[in-house]
Amino acid sequence: MKSLPIALLLSLASLTAHAATYRVDGDAGDDANDGLAAPFKTIARGLRDLRPGDTLLLTKLSHPYRESIPVMVHGTREAPIIIDGGGATISGADPAPKDGWADNEGIWSVAQATKVEFLFGPDCRYEMAKAPDKLKPLEWAWQTGRLYFRPAEGKTPADYDLQMSVRISGIMTSGAGEIIVRNLTAMHFYNDGFNIHSGSSPMWFENIRGLWNGDEGFSCHENCECYVRGAEFSHNYWHGIADVGIARSHYQNIVCRDNRSKGIWFIGGMHSVSDAEVSGSPIQIALSVSDQQGYPRFEAMPLRTSVTNLRSVAVRSRPDEIGVLLTPNAQGVIEHCVIQGGKACLQVEDGASAYTLNSILAGGRIAEVVAAGSYAAEANLYFPGRLTIKGTAYQPDQFAAYVAATGNDQKSVVEEPQFVGDTLVTSKASRATGGAFNLYGFGGPDIGLERRQARPEEPGVTAPLPAATQLASTGGTPQKTEAGELISYDFETINPWGRIFPEPVKNAAGMEVAGKAELSAEQAHGGAKSGKISVTLPPAAPGRYLLKLFSEKMPYTRPVSAVRVWVYGDNSGRQFTLRLRDAGGECFYRAPAVMDWTGWKQIAWDVTAEPPANIVGGNDSKQQDCPPLEIVLDVSAKAGEQFVVYLDDLEVELAK
């Protein structure tokens, strides 16, 4: 190993010695401060002093910083530049004035010298009209120094929180690299929330959001190299993500929802997306060839085609949308993904190439796969199983003919999948029942939810009560029956069902799920009280949570033959599953159901008459090992929700 030159050692020492953390506080700061002992007021002032190894740390405020962050200084491998938003938001918009508006037959106007590119409100974007005199209610226009807005009848502009988009982008770079950006939201910019250009070295992004911007939430260009971990890019005017040219980008643990054109659009370059959810756009994911201009010998550049790996991505589409689209010359590898709904789950145009492995494609309106280009596939699950390959349409009962004609999917199945949240829990083809399909890993061990759940203790939001050692401690009243023994729980003085284990326990920003279990008189099926479980889910990524609602560890010495419990429904349409978990962590699932009722309803499962739809985890004995046993209600919920459920009059039958 060669020694480093003295000059380089001195240079590195100088960088380390210089490293400083400059703070910005838009409320308490002052740009006359040094940013070290006392914070600056503006981000612009903080950027002036940044050198390799420095950190710019923002103070989170109750309102956004109305500034862009152009970073034009290089970091180095040993001393990257860090922009830490501290949870703050930067905004490309200025608030419209409350006063000074003139009314002209319902169309209001106010002086506004700077051109307004978009007009936003809280969680909305107002449509721009072609001319000020053509405004419909809630439309706007800007012309010759005036902003025009037509409020709803009976209202004035002062009744709205109007935000005028006047800044181009949030985080901006051009040629800079070795930069880390984290803990920051960029919104209401009329171009991109994160606009990355001409990179000569990598950039890293952690826990970021690009929301309600005029072009994209995140966009890297030319030959940039970006790594994004933990992010949401939603409600943008065009795309959640659009990476163009020959960019290299890699995304892990992201959400793209409700963008106006595409959730993700990769135009040339090399990309990967893993652990992601994409939904709510006309096209969720599109892969296209690059249109880069002026790059040397571009015709010989391998990355002019889009090469993309999608792994563990949930793609959900409405009937008039498209899940994943590959246009001519694009190449895609789709592994361990769930692609649901749309006109077609997967569309491969002539000249494109898709390789699909160990994925679920279900519920396309026309077909699950429409491939004019190259389609190679194996170990997948299709439902109902319609594929159009090179112009030939195969119906579900022609799946064997499709396999014979193409050589594809010899280990695949046509079967309806059942889910709890994003986790496949029932399928004849799942490895737990001897089939070939395994959502979590081709040919490897099950590493899904229930394998993780088999550990001795689970982290939870609420600390579980001590394990019960006798029925009285869980409120159970035993009664002998012909079939065995019936244990009843009335929820009047003891709550036997109050342990909450969310998955995950925190969102990407580190905010924890908040849960509470208690006896409540708000609702009751029998008697005066019921068990109330309330859970508050933080917003932002991930988009979905699995709430595992556990009973106490019941001291049953014999297997459970039946479970009956009254549940107060909210007609939310959320999916839930009842299951039993034995002493070894093996789980016995009932088929999932939907909460499609309001008020009290008894959920009854006769385990003898209706055997478990799936058995996973534990020691794979396929029998209930006890004591103890636990009863679990798994409920799917969305980020930002307040979930409340009431349980009452639980009855458990034990076998003889």
Average pLDDT for the chain: 85
| Rounded alpha-carbon distances, angstroms, from residue 234 to 84, 238, 423, 628 | 21, 10, 23, 45
Q: What's the gap between Cα 314 and its chain centre? A: 9
- Which residues contact residue 365 at a Cβ distance below 8 angstroms, ignoring those fewer than 6 apart? 319, 320, 341, 342, 343, 344
Q: Which pLDDT score is estimated for 570? A: 86
Q: Is 70 exceeded by the pLDDT of residue 319?
A: yes
- Confidence band, pLDDT 50/70/90 cuts, at residue 617: low
Cβ atoms of residues 75 and 175 within 8 Å: no
For residue 134, the number of C-alpha atoms closer than 13 Å in the C-beta half-sphere is 8
Which long-range contacts link 347-355 to residues 24+ away (Cβ below 8 Å)?
347/322, 347/323, 347/371, 348/372, 348/373, 348/374, 348/375, 349/325, 349/373, 352/287, 352/326, 352/327, 352/328, 353/326, 354/324, 354/326
- Confidence band, pLDDT 50/70/90 cuts, at residue 145: very high
Which is more confidently placed, 225 or 5? 225
In sequence order, what DSSP letters do the residues of 532-573 get, joined into one string?
EEEEE--SSSSSEEEEEEE---B--SS-EEEEEEEEEEE---
> Tens digit of pLDDT for each residue in 464-483?
323 333 444 455 666 666 66
> Tens digit of pLDDT for each residue in 479-491?
666 666 888 888 8
- Confidence band, pLDDT 50/70/90 cuts, at residue 16: very low
- Confidence band, pLDDT 50/70/90 cuts, at residue 511: confident
Q: Which pLDDT score is estimated for 200? A: 62
Q: Is 90 exceeded by the pLDDT of residue 463?
A: no
Which is more confidently placed, 10 or 613? 613
Q: Is 70 exceeded by the pLDDT of residue 611?
A: yes
Q: Which pLDDT score is estimated for 452? A: 30
Residue type, 603: I
Which is more confidently placed, 136 or 629? 136
Q: Is 70 exceeded by the pLDDT of residue 324?
A: yes
Q: Which pLDDT score is estimated for 459? A: 33
Q: Is 90 exceeded by the pLDDT of residue 440?
A: no
Q: Which pLDDT score is estimated for 419? A: 59
> Tens digit of pLDDT for each residue in 364-415?
999 999 999 999 999 999 999 999 999 999 999 999 999 999 999 999 999 8
- Confidence band, pLDDT 50/70/90 cuts, at residue 244: very high
Q: Which two tokens stand for residue 482?
A: 């012909």
Q: Which pLDDT score is estimated for 476? A: 61
Q: Which pLDDT score is estimated for 612? A: 83
Q: Which pLDDT score is estimated for 475? A: 55
- Confidence band, pLDDT 50/70/90 cuts, at residue 492: confident
Q: Which pLDDT score is estimated for 136? A: 94
Taken in order of first residue, the domains within the chain and their CATH numbers are 15-92+167-237 (2.160.20.10), 107-164 (no CATH), 471-655 (2.60.120.260)
Which is more confidently placed, 444 or 525? 525
Q: What percent of the chain has pLDDT over 90?
A: 57
Which is more confidently placed, 182 or 501? 182
**Cα–Cα distance between 547 and 505 in angstroms, integer?**
10
Q: Which pLDDT score is estimated for 456? A: 34
Helix (H) or strand (E) holding 44: helix 43-48
User: Order of strands, edge to edge, in the sheet holding 146-149?
Assistant: 93-95, 163-165, 118-121, 124-128, 139-143, 146-149, 107-111, 102-104
Query: What is the SS3 string spanning 104-169?
Result: ECCEEEEECCCCCCEEEECCEEEEECCCHHHCCCCEEEEECCEEEECCCCCCCHHHCCCEEECCCC
- Confidence band, pLDDT 50/70/90 cuts, at residue 431: very low
For residue 161, the number of C-alpha atoms closer than 13 Å in the C-beta half-sphere is 4
